Amino acid sequence: MKIRTSVRVLRGPLDVAPLVDVILLLLIFFLLTSTFVFQPGIVVDPPSPGQSKGGVSDTRYVVTATAGANPQIFFNDRATDLAKLRLELARLAKTEPRAAVIIRADRDLRHGVVAQILDVVVQNGLSAVLASRSGTTNP
């Protein structure tokens, strides 16, 4: 005995709206979950360390100044004053003219003292870097 089915396959136009919805949802999903790294528009080609003639040397010298009634100045962790610092930096400028001097000053130190130290460094023809603490500051 043969069983007859009453279900017929309808051949009609394909409904594209649900297909477009799914494709757009997938596109939005991939765009939101992907990461883009944008390159800057300026191309910089830095010289290699051997090619540089006017840069600073790898040796660093540190001048530390503390605040107080009498500000204290240290050059490479040795106590000094502005006159001695001037002599030491003049001697340093003769032996290493490309040396970099890092100036670390206390937050409460008067600006005039920092300006004097910076002036001594620059007068001797050395490179000066003012060091500061990054991140949050504590009161």
- Compute mean pLDDT per 10 residues along the chain, 139 residues long, and list them: 79 85 94 73 56 54 83 86 90 86 84 88 85 55
What pLDDT is recorded for position 131? 76
**Spatial distance between the Cα atoms of 55 and 50, rounded to a whole number of angstroms:** 10
Q: What is the phi-psi region of residue 68: left when phi exceeds 0, alpha when psi lies from -120 to 50, beta otherwise?
A: left
**Spatial distance between the Cα atoms of 60 and 99, rounded to a whole number of angstroms:** 7
Nearest by Cα to 139 from 107, 109, 117, 102:
107
What pLDDT is recorded for position 50? 52
What pLDDT is recorded for position 62? 84
What pLDDT is recorded for position 51? 47
What pLDDT is recorded for position 28? 93
Judge contact between 64 and 93, C-beta under 8 A. no
- Residue 41 is encoded by which pair of tokens? 């528009």
Domain boundaries, the chain: 60-131
CATH 3.30.420.270 fits 60-131, yes or no: yes
What pLDDT is recorded for position 58? 55
- Residue 18 is encoded by which pair of tokens? 């649900």
What pLDDT is recorded for position 52? 47
What pLDDT is recorded for position 22? 95
Helices (H), 6-130: 17-33, 82-95, 111-123
pTM: 0.53
Q: Which burial class, exposed, middle or buried, applies to 89 when counting CB atoms under 10 A from its CB (0-12, 13-18, 19+)?
A: buried
